Structure 1
């Protein structure tokens, strides 16, 4: 029994399919099998769509696919034993998702993502059905990480690598971009002390870490830095460097 119609035949002619592995083709699901679906692609034999090639991991596998609708499939392999093309919807969605992500990165804009999980290294996010990662060093400064779970936050792209399936984002870079009227090179800002390190003091400016390097601290304070710079004390500082790629600031002290 043939399930193609005039429109489907015209579609095949327009695309001029040669059924090569890695191609994207049009087809119609016409039968549900025990472990997958049969798909009419206009070839002598029906192609096969395994259940494990239907959904990305973020989807539920309980949803049954609709039939008699023309849609696109990715040709994953050729089964010599059954003489069938093996198709994938998951791989097609994966390619489309990465194309969208690369387009977003090219626009150099901040995007909203949802924190779907946390680990020691940072936060896991989901963007266009692709799992990404925000390192701890790029989360909002001094916020309790556990409170970010299931929250939507603004981020910018750090690494977009489809070949390595690597998507790394930064919340701090997005924060820095959103406060240009406050944080400009040479601007004077009142900021609280957030951390004291051996190499300097961190102030908190709009959830962005601002480092006062040890070399910028006046000598009269060096004898007892912890005394002069208790956590929470407000100082007026000058922004002397803005690292927009890493979401960091450097400041000097007004004395």
Structure 2
């Protein structure tokens, strides 16, 4: 009679039922679970975890209590097979679907490193593709096993038992959040320190604390720059001034030259009206020539100030890159303009040469009644002819 009652109790189970149980024995390939009936239920190793495990003891210990699902009943042998994995999966899928819909970030430990990425136990088998582990390329993932990562669900398919996770998405969200906070703090005109991240033909991208800004090639230096690598290298620490912030398009325009004293500031104290300085012809235009008299400082030699004789164009006398001596006629600091003359330098040279010639002539013809004025007059007429 007692045996019939026990059998009746066993037969009252149905596949799919959930029961509370206590682990009573742990073997390598299975565990026995007390679910309150005559025979202890069997928990096969394949039903312990959604991930591959070598032995049951890696996951369970004797005395643990938890919920199981009945997956098979053998009435003839009074055997009941239960699954921990099935219960975990039900809870996991409900939890994962909520996390996916809400974009929740959660922590999970890497269970294994496999070809193409990482495996994570999230109640079911979760997979992190290699491209979604970090924002940068990772060559060797061996150090990731056992490491806890913050993750987001990026793809979910319950029917196919597919769970795709991403750590990179979490990092990118954090970066975007920091970027927006930084954009709110940026002020046009502020001077900051940054790090050169990469160079292009048109300029240099500089990291100013979590966001990159562009220093156009024209803003790298007060002097003319042919290519950015002539001025900076990747990794250089540089000072930059914020020229423009476009938060909508996430673009920042920066200037290195504006963060440094300008050539006018450094050169004005050295340039004096009336002085003669050396310079380089930078540009020829129809009305004259622009000559660089200090790094980044150019002055105009009007066509009328190029030569003693009449010329139709500056190119008749000058060429770009030519070294010349010029006299500073005027400095307009407010408008950053300098007026220069090559002609007056040449005239002064001729006057000095004339004076020297007269002095030598008088020394050679002393007492003959010829004065400096007489000789200058003759030379003046000669110059005019």
SS of match in other structure, 1:91: helix
**Are 1:170 and 2:249 matched, yes or no?**
no
Distance in 2 between residues matched to 1:97 and 1:25, nearest whole Å: 17
Mapping 1:1-255, distance limit 5 Å:
19-20=99-100, 23=103, 25-31=105-111, 32-39=113-120, 44-45=123-124, 47-56=126-135, 59-64=136-141, 66-73=144-151, 75=152, 77-80=154-157, 81-84=160-163, 86-89=165-168, 91-92=172-173, 94-95=175-176, 98-99=179-180, 102=183, 105-106=186-187, 108-114=190-196, 116-119=198-201, 121-125=202-206, 133-140=214-221, 141-143=223-225, 145=227, 146-148=229-231, 150=233, 152=236, 153-158=238-243, 164=249, 166=251, 168-175=253-260, 179=261, 183=265, 190=271, 195-196=282-283, 198=285, 201=290, 203=292, 209-210=296-297, 220-221=304-305, 237-240=331-334, 250-253=336-339
Q: 1:158 to 1:182 in 2, by over 3 A?
A: closer
Relative contact order, CA 8 A, sep 6+: which one is greater? 1
- Structure showing greater radius of gyration is 2
Unpaired segments ≥5 residues, structure 2: 1-48, 51-58, 60-97, 272-276, 342-385
DSSP 3-state at the match of 1:142 = coil
TM-score between both structures, scaled by the size of structure 1: 0.56
RMSD over equivalenced CA pairs, Å:
4.8
TM-score by length of 2: 0.41
Gapped regions of structure 1 (runs ≥ 5): 4-17, 242-249
Q: Tell me by how many angstroms 1:139 deviates.
A: 1.9
Higher helix share: 2
Partners of 1:221 and 1:239 in 2: CA distance:
21
